[in-house]
A and B are shown apart, each in its own frame.
Chain A
């Protein structure tokens, strides 16, 4: 069982840290123990998302991002800047947004 309290990712010794902020929507925050903001040392969008305690809700069992999960980096759709492999810069904000469709 996942209690949503996974520790923050730590930068490897000797490597410059790229601390990014990840923001979760309410339902995911509930599943992350009530926490909606995470500060992580993550080189890529994928690494940031995979370090979250709700990783299994964002990725399926084949480690593919679920199709209705949208990710924005400083307001830009992550697909437009390399997708999961897109590099993150120190201080950037990654926002997870559930796709809104239908009525």
Chain B
């Protein structure tokens, strides 16, 4: 068993060393495919993070009628908190709101002598942004509620963009994965063609199909893994440079949530590369390595 394993490993190593140009072709193919995959993945990760974070900034502002006493406001706050969709309810008392307004317009107008025209306000956040319109609709029907500002239109647009980004991204990544599979498959097929003599001799002496095919599969794993490591380094370098350049152009981007963590890229792309390489090599070996 160990002898056979050593044979398989030595065959893999010999092939990796001897068919240099083929290895370069296969590794660079895997690398290009994984760079595309990694770049799209990074962009999607960032867009998804933005799409996820934006709706959290939306919340419903519930203005009560001016004459509603404080105890009824507090009772309504409790009622809203009891709703299963609601994550948090914050009371902004009319006194506090009026003080803030006075401070904000202190330079322009003196509001100190005027009576407080503002009502109590409740700021409502739901667990998921999609639940917000439903909660707002229910609150509008309440007798003590004067107005509900739910910014439904904006929220729906953001949610639609987030959905579009996910679907387009998913389709794009699927297509890239498919093309990466075909490219690596062809590279492994070329390796098999280049090693027809070894395959034939192994088949003639009675080596099992597993023994004959395994070096090709390991070769595919190594090619995919190397391509993945190269791709991860290049994607991270590229993302770093692009990010710096864009931040210089548009400083507001700094406020956006961070992109994919470097460790995810460094481990993810080589792992995907190894899996893809192994899968393609297995597929090609099954198809082209016969013992007849």
Q: Do A and B bind each other?
A: no
Report which A residues bind B (CB closer than 8 A).
Answer: none
